[in-house]
Every structure is written in C-alpha cells, then in structure tokens.
C-alpha cells in the first residue's frame, strides 16, 4: 500500500474525474439541454472545464458561456430540468472507468479499509452509475452534492462520512482530482491524495498542494 495509507482506516473517493470519465455523457446532456432552449451547444473541452461543483453550477456555467452573461432564473430552471432529464436517460452510454479503478477499490476493500464515495454529482445518479460498473459493493457510504446542506469544497460531507463510519478525521484520506476535493480534505483534517488526469478547471492539481499526487489509483496498492 502507499505509505500515506499506513495507519489510515477510511478512504473517501470523488467520482467524476477520479473514478469515472463522465465528460462524454455530461457533454451530451448539456448539449441537449441548451439545444432545447435554442442555444449554442458546447464541446467536450468546454464541459471538462466546467465540471466539479455539481450539476446546477455546470448548467449555469454552460448558459453563461453561450449567452455571454449569467442566465435569468426562468431560463436556468428550464435548462437545468432539461439537463437532469437528458442525463438521467443515459448516464452510462459513453462514461468509462479510469484505469485500475476496479482493481484498486477491490484491493483496498480486501485490505480492510472503509471506502466511501463523496461526489458533488446529484445523489440520484450515483447508484445507477455504480451499478453499471459493478462498484456498489465497494462503498460503505455514498454522498451526493445534494445529500447534505453543503458540498465540497466544504468539509461537511467528509466529516459526516467520518462520523458515520466511526473514524477520526486524522485516520481518513480524501482521493480526488480537483481543487475542491483537496480543499475539502484539508479543511476536514484528512490526508489528501490527488490524481492529475481528471477535471480541475484547467489547473494542475499540484497547485492545490495535496499530500501526494498519484499517476493512477494503482499507486495506492503498490
């Protein structure tokens, strides 16, 4: 196991950009939502830079991009409802696992670590995605961006998960791909491990000063 896992008991994982590459399906859903409103559709590169703060912020960023100004409330509500509808219809059509995800989660689980999932994605989408990739059994707890009153970069979801699993924050690790994951982990008192291949608004994840940057999840179990 990675040296920073020694003495740890709980490991929290982000989802989008950490375990799964969901940008292709998110791009389709955003594009359909904007097309429904007769607005210009974004590219996957656009969406990749917008992911990370939950579905509502993703849609708001898309609308602001296409309009050149923040949307009014009525347009936002229509586009957001459209996005939820389109994404729910096909959340796994083009989404893929990043390399070594299944292997790492299985090995960590077998080694006795408590694994939890903490994502800013709406909770309703978590189970279908985990079921699709046969990962549901890996996690003791899953929290979405709307599961609690606050989402990452707030430390609240991380502290809630640690308390629910009966593990002190100092014995926990946060694994993610964005500055929001690292900020939440630091604020919660977790050790932070970062992955450089995900979605971090075009910024190197090393700039967030995690405790370590991994090339893939395989480094956690070697």
Active site residues: 14
> Would you put residue 96 in left (φ > 0), alpha (ψ -120 to 50) or beta?
beta
Decide: 157 and 147 in contact? Cβ < 8 Å.
Answer: yes
State how far the Cα of 129 lies from the Cα of 207, in Å rounded to an integer: 30
* Residue 38, Cβ density class (10 Å: 0-12 exposed, 13-18 middle, ≥19 buried): exposed
Is there a contact between 4 and 36 (Cβ–Cβ < 8 Å)?
no
């Amino acid at each position: 196991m990675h040296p920073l896992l020694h003495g740890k008991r709980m490991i929290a994982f982000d989802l989008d950009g950490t375990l799964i590459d969901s940008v292709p399906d998110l791009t389709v859903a955003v594009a359909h939502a904007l097309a429904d409103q007769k607005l210009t559709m974004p590219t996957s590169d656009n969406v990749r830079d917008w992911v990370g703060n939950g579905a509502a912020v993703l849609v708001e960023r898309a609308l602001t991009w296409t309009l050149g100004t923040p949307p009014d409330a009525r347009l936002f509500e229509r586009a957001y409802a459209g996005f939820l509808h389109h994404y729910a219809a096909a959340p796994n059509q083009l989404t893929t696992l990043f390399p070594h995800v299944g292997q790492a989660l299985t090995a960590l689980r077998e080694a006795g670590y408590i694994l939890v999932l903490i994502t800013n994605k709406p909770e309703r989408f978590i189970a279908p995605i985990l079921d699709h990739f046969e990962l549901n059994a890996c996690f003791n707890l899953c929290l979405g961006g709307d599961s609690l009153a606050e989402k990452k970069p707030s430390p609240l979801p991380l502290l809630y998960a640690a308390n629910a699993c009966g593990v002190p924050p100092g014995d926990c690790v946060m694994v993610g791909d964005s500055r929001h994951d690292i900020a939440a982990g630091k604020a919660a008192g977790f050790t932070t491990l970062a992955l450089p291949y995900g979605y971090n608004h075009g910024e190197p994840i090393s700039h967030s000063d995690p405790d370590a940057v991994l090339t893939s999840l395989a480094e956690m179990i070697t």
